[in-house]
Structure 1
């Protein structure tokens, strides 16, 4: 008895009209838009799993950044006396901390999103792109309380919303999320094959805190590196650009800073040109889009091997 090759089913006219797809096919990088219902379910699942058995629950979204802020403020602001040379240093510091916290959570969670959902990836078909995107949305849920604290702190320091601040914030969020999701999808694909990748990601997040102007002013870096290629590389770091945009959005127009600048104080607060509030935002956006495209391509080409690699 000879085996016959399986025949490929041809969809009917009604199925084609409804957008029928063969099993295993999906919309690629458009899956987060096409499969919004599944994406919401994954976000809810991630939140339930994260706080299962937790007493404080979402309160950890306030506790962890608060402790981080206090440690950095005492070490850098009090011991190294940066608070004396930087008006509204608490706002300056926290506006940078929320950036690196969001970067770290999106990057780390996206990297582990495929391996952490190995049972789902290997047993049933769910578009793989949904896992890193769900990680990003969970990180945004944790980001909102930190943003609220930052806004309250800025208001207490005489900050008032303005079109400049709003545009700077939106640009910063756009660059940060596009850049981090690109990195996250790239490392998620690599981590499925090589588990060492997630350890490298932890190191990158730790180093990123110190290689962007979160704890110190950028003019300190300029004094040390001005005129060298390292100064331009430092400025072109997308995280540096995002942190500076957040400084423009929440710190630059607080009353202590405005009063200080009115006396022609020489410290810098922007990139490239001291009078330009948005600095090198265009470079940050271009780099972020390029990283996102590369990460998406690598993820798309790797996703069919995830079930075997897990």
Structure 2
């Protein structure tokens, strides 16, 4: 009998192969096989561990801890309110300008944190990505959940501020808020996964993302009314591109949810109809949803095709 035909020794383990049907029925799978973009749903326990890890690492040695979720937006609001509301007198032409301003700030803060954290999620967890097997999709999704944890205190402050100006929850406000959150998270996660895949190969991407967040703050109606933009470039291709910006759509949805129907604003619109944004109450929400969905699909496809190269690139 030749060596090639000899049976394996009794003390040698059988060669590794694909899992049998019995093993598959028990939930076993071969190493490296996962559920792809559905991993955040299938690996919820690991996702919770990553979220806890990110929160602990971020506030390790910090005296204020989660209070930074209040400090940063508070400083932003004060600076913008004084510079634009007082010095440029935008508060005189915009009823309840404080609520208008802060409802846009919370959108940009959530966009910036999800986008930035997701972009750095692979490179920031390089020891885990390169040394052990973990579904790579968990890292950007855990970054999004951490950003939502920081978003909740800001949202509570916004709700309290809106209530002080006479705002009351309504079905219109709830629908606008839900649409805004859906478009924002889907769009930002698509961008975040795309940027995370590119950042693993080219570290310049994270610097570009920081620049993009700063530009987005001024290219969305956060600090000024959208009617001002319409007066300046209305009827041109730039006006339509401005309106199709998903962040513009989300910010306007937040304005509808928390600012538009407060008594002071309703009275101001009765005296000056130009305060009403075009397309209210929900504007181009359908376009924002389509663009967000397309961005999410693109980001997911690019991320999935890049996962096997992450360990080598890091």
Give the gaps of 5 or more residues in structure 2.
5-13
Matches of 1:166 and 1:53, distance apart in 2: 38
Q: Deviations along 1:29-87, whole A, 9 cap, x unmatched? A: 10000000000000000000000000000000000100000000000000000000000
| 1:94-243 paired onto structure 2 within 5 Å | 94-243=102-251
Matches of 1:106 and 1:11, distance apart in 2: 38
Secondary structure of 2:95 counterpart: coil
Give the gaps of 5 or more residues in structure 1.
none
Q: Within the alignment, does 1:292 sit opposite 2:310 as a pair?
A: no
- Aligned residue number for residue 48 of structure 2: 40
Q: Give, in angstroms, the shift of residue 8 of structure 1.
A: 4.6
Q: Give, in angstroms, the shift of residue 255 of structure 1.
A: 1.2
Q: Give, in angstroms, the shift of residue 91 of structure 1.
A: 0.1
Matching residue within 81, 89, 94 for 1:81: 89
Matching residue within 301, 304, 308 for 2:308: 304
Matches of 2:160 and 2:18, distance apart in 1: 60
Contact 1:110 1:135 in 2 (8 A): yes
Contact 2:39 2:138 in 1 (8 A): yes
Q: Within the alignment, does 1:22 sit opposite 2:26 as a pair?
A: no
Q: Within the alignment, does 1:72 sit opposite 2:80 as a pair?
A: yes
Q: Give, in angstroms, the shift of residue 28 of structure 1.
A: 0.5
Contact 2:187 2:296 in 1 (8 A): yes
Contact 1:244 1:269 in 2 (8 A): no
Matches of 1:87 and 1:77, distance apart in 2: 11
Q: Deviations along 1:258-282, whole A, 9 cap, x unmatched? A: 111223x1324434x3xx3000000
Greater CA deviation, 21-30 or 72-81? 21-30
Q: Which has the larger radius of gyration?
A: 2
Mark the CA change 1:253 to 1:112 in structure 2 (over 3 Å): closer, same or farther: same
TM-score between both structures, scaled by the size of structure 2: 0.94
Mark the CA change 1:139 to 1:269 in structure 2 (over 3 Å): closer, same or farther: farther
Aligned residues: 304
Q: Give, in angstroms, the shift of residue 111 of structure 1.
A: 0.1
Matches of 1:118 and 1:239, distance apart in 2: 31
Q: Give, in angstroms, the shift of residue 7 of structure 1.
A: 5.0
Matches of 2:152 and 2:276, distance apart in 1: 25
Matches of 1:269 and 1:213, distance apart in 2: 13
Contact 1:270 1:278 in 2 (8 A): no
- Aligned residue number for residue 277 of structure 2: 270
- Aligned residue number for residue 100 of structure 2: 92
Q: Within the alignment, does 1:281 sit opposite 2:285 as a pair?
A: yes
- Aligned residue number for residue 11 of structure 2: none
Matches of 1:216 and 1:305, distance apart in 2: 44
- Aligned residue number for residue 10 of structure 2: none
Q: Give, in angstroms, the shift of residue 13 of structure 1.
A: 2.9
Matches of 1:102 and 1:208, distance apart in 2: 12
Which consecutive segments of 4 or more residues in structure 1 shift more than 6 A? Answer: none
Secondary structure of 1:87 counterpart: coil
Root-mean-square deviation (CA, aligned residues, Å) is 1.5
